[in-house]
A = this chain, B = another copy of it.
């Protein structure tokens, strides 16, 4: 692989010293960018995901326009349920819908664990096309939905109603739930493996809906499968790449999340970064966690709140600046620029200059 011009993000993932805190943003390629909206006038969301050249173009837009320290592949977590055999309608407004939700053991039996080279080759092609465009400027992050979060959509059919059906299913039919989660976990691990082979520098698991489960349910149906996927990826990956885990609504579970094998915990905006760092004792890097609604306020507020996040993590290696959830569509681009500039300008004070490590 081509050597990287900017490897701040990867060094921070490994908790190695950096000159400043790297920054990228979840959903940094998306509707808030005029250049993205211009493309969307010509192509629908699914076409952008499915056409490697277009996905690559969208992926590099924030790198070129905002100078962030990493790119994340433009795609959607529901490509896996679709590749497993479900009818998925991926829409930007109203949220994703699964037309054929999974409800019974026979529904589960019908699903396949897809070969990514066959069913998800468009994603792998998009990775290769993106690397061509990036030319090693910054690392490229691949991703997948975590098993529980994919399960929640696959059972519920949509992201509404706090996933009541999914929660009932784990209580009512735990064997069926485990059978489905096993299949999803194998599909996710194979998919991440293929993404690494195709050239991504890191992978992130999104467990966006981990926070709807009760304590037993979280440990048994979310955390156990995150661990299983990470172990499988680490055991088989052709190269050792950092694994990032975004788990939302689980600020009370930081210690447990740090034991999953993830190299980086990406925490939501409700999480206290100071406490999370103390709880994990610097055994993992932390990513986050500005409230995305801060980017809807004035640029001055953006700068002030960004500095608070830097201060909350404090001095030392192992912080990757990000939002606590994705960029909201109504976010002014000017505010995102201000955020990136603020982190670049203000973060060096939190890093020990090379050669002064003893200070």
Contact = CB atoms under 8 A, between A and B. Distances in A.
Interface of A: 164, 167-168, 171-172, 211-218, 249, 251-252, 269-273, 275, 289, 291, 293-294, 296-298, 301, 305, 308, 312, 324, 328
Given A214-B291, A270-B213, A297 B168 contact: yes
A293 B164 contact: yes
6 contacts: A168-B294, A171-B297, A212-B270, A215-B270, A251-B251, A252-B252
B214 A167 contact: no
Pick the 7 closest A-B CB pairs, nearest first. A251-B252, A167-B293, A172-B297, A215-B272, A252-B252, A214-B291, A171-B297
Given A214-B270, A215-B272, A269-B214, A168 B296 contact: yes
Contacts of A271: 215, 252
Contacts of A218: 270
A171 to B, nearest CB: 5
A289 B275 CA distance: 25
Contacts of A269: 214
Among A251, A293, A294, find the residue whose CB has the most chain B CB atoms closer than 10 A: A293
Dominant secondary structure at the A interface: helix
A301 B171 CA distance: 7
A249 B289 CA distance: 17
A265 to B, nearest CB: 14
A164 B171 CA distance: 32
Contacts of A272: 215, 252
A216 B290 CA distance: 11
B252 A296 contact: no
A249 B252 contact: no
A152 to B, nearest CB: 12
- Which of A167, A215, A308, A312 has the most C-beta atoms of chain B within 10 angstroms of its own C-beta? A215
A301 to B, nearest CB: 5
Contacts of A171: 291, 293-294, 297, 301, 305
